Chain A
């Protein structure tokens, strides 16, 4: 079974966590996005054949929501870290 590293608790079995979907920051405020951008945010995902940044929730543990970088072909996890505000800022910069 996959092992994930909770930034607070350390390496744990994947069954302790809940997958939270692809990292997908919300356009802020929602009124600032065009219809296209808003549709992408709601319904489209990268779904990359390769490394993905995704959310995980330590449901049976400390209750931390954190991010993980995982290669979806090999299921290898490269890193896990707690969200910081500059992440979303950087992501928004990239899309504009």
Chain B
């Protein structure tokens, strides 16, 4: 899926000024972002050829491709920050499930179309608003990756928001499926804006956005979309966390088994 690199990574400006500690934290954070878009991109790609209609099949494949593109930029940057000679492919294909740092939301199974839409909407709402701020990061490479990705994330959020409204304010069947998906998936939304110790340190250093400051805009968007969808915003739900610290659901292992099979079986295999 990832190809041997023919395009050199960007000329990265100034990695120099970071202390080894901050550099390690930044590596962990960039890896977390890469894992997140890789796993969600992989999940969406599972729909390819199975979408409810051709146009939506294409939409999910397109979004998966955007996420995979962002993943590559992030893994390349992570490899550079680590400076141990590991490549983007090593990071994607040769790490264990417990080393993956994606939030639990993105590894949840596709379920029906409503479940995929709810998962995507919750992720897109965070992804878009986070990228808008990450674009202003003093870390030039993170800012450049965000500058590129935020344009794509805006399309994704528009798509998933419109589908939330169609499903919620659609037929009895679509509404019932949306309600069921929300009952299962809402509990994974809180992890996105719950900072880990690594994220807290980078927030304090002003390198990544303060998630609490993202919440008003995120909550307003959710309230608007749920309002249009005639669906009440879930309240008082216990939030599951742990994915960003490597404690995953059983689903991730199955994803990685499929994703990493080739490199595990034939180490170093190239196209």
Q: Do A and B bind each other?
A: no
| Chain A residues proximal to chain B, CB less than 8 Å | none
